[in-house]
Structure 1
């Protein structure tokens, strides 16, 4: 089974988190995962993916214009029925990551995705809308990012195997 992680990263922070989430996904057997910046998407791999995670830095309490542009222009990319998840990076707590993630969730639901985070159903750590990394991140945030990746991979296997 394939899982794609699409992200935009200008400074490298969101790319770093994407790679850590990938580590969590890689703990689950029979999953092939690929991280892709928005300007280097392997559309064949994306089309074959059963789950797609989307990551964005938080700018002005929302996703980046690059992510919004990709969403707007990706009409030839069929995401319907795929498991979706989102994550965000922000400079500080209260920087708008929840708004960015909620906005992305809304857009991907319109595209027919099945959005998932694990929420509180899986217990600690609670990952409400998606994973958030603040500043340069830290060991605890990295641990949660790995758990987030693992949870998404497990749910994808449950739904699509």
Structure 2
């Protein structure tokens, strides 16, 4: 099962969270590659993926402009139709707009024909509603959220395997 994580990271925290999500995906049996929108992205690998997760820092209560640019312009050579998609975000504060950032990307994934997955609350704790979020200016939330990111990766890979393994 091939899965990609595509992210933009300004300070390194979103990249670190992508790496933790990838750990969870690998533990669940996924083959995972990470790509920064600031570097060349293997379009053949993306085309072969059954699932793609997108990560962004939160800026002005939405996803980072560079992530949006990649989704709206740079990604068009690759068809996302029918693939499983998910999103995650990092932010400074709980009211900083991280949910809005995730929802803005999920809308773009739906337009591109992706099936979206967050792992919701159906699996119980930890509840991951729109997608996982880590906050760096709220106590130890950033460190505490790392387990949630790994669990999200596991759940995402398990769902991709359930849906697409032949």
- Find the aligned partners of 2:28 and 2:129 in 1 and give their Cα distance: 22
- TM-score, normalisation: structure 2: 0.93
1:33 aligns with 2:32: yes
- Find the aligned partners of 2:121 and 2:111 in 1 and give their Cα distance: 24
User: CA offset at residue 140 of structure 1?
Assistant: 2.3
Change (3 A) 1:11 1:139: closer
User: CA offset at residue 83 of structure 1?
Assistant: 0.2
Instruction: Map 1:76-115 to 2 at 5 A.
Output: 76-115=77-116
- Find the aligned partners of 1:49 and 1:89 in 2 and give their Cα distance: 24
- TM-score, normalisation: structure 1: 0.96
User: CA offset at residue 66 of structure 1?
Assistant: 0.4
- Find the aligned partners of 2:44 and 2:108 in 1 and give their Cα distance: 22
User: CA offset at residue 39 of structure 1?
Assistant: 2.3
1:100-127 CA deviation, whole Å, 9 max, x = no partner? 1111101100000000011011111110
Runs of 4+ in 1 over 6 A off after TM superposition: none
Structure 2 alignment gaps of length 5 or more: none
Q: For the aligned residues, what is the CA RMSD?
A: 1.1
Q: Partner of 1:131 in structure 2? A: 132
Query: Is the partner of 1:39 in helix, strand or coil?
Result: coil
- Find the aligned partners of 1:94 and 1:77 in 2 and give their Cα distance: 34
User: CA offset at residue 47 of structure 1?
Assistant: 1.0
Query: Is the partner of 1:141 in helix, strand or coil?
Result: helix
1:66 aligns with 2:58: no
- Find the aligned partners of 1:117 and 1:138 in 2 and give their Cα distance: 19
Q: Partner of 2:16 in structure 1? A: 16
Structure 1 alignment gaps of length 5 or more: none
Q: Partner of 1:151 in structure 2? A: 155
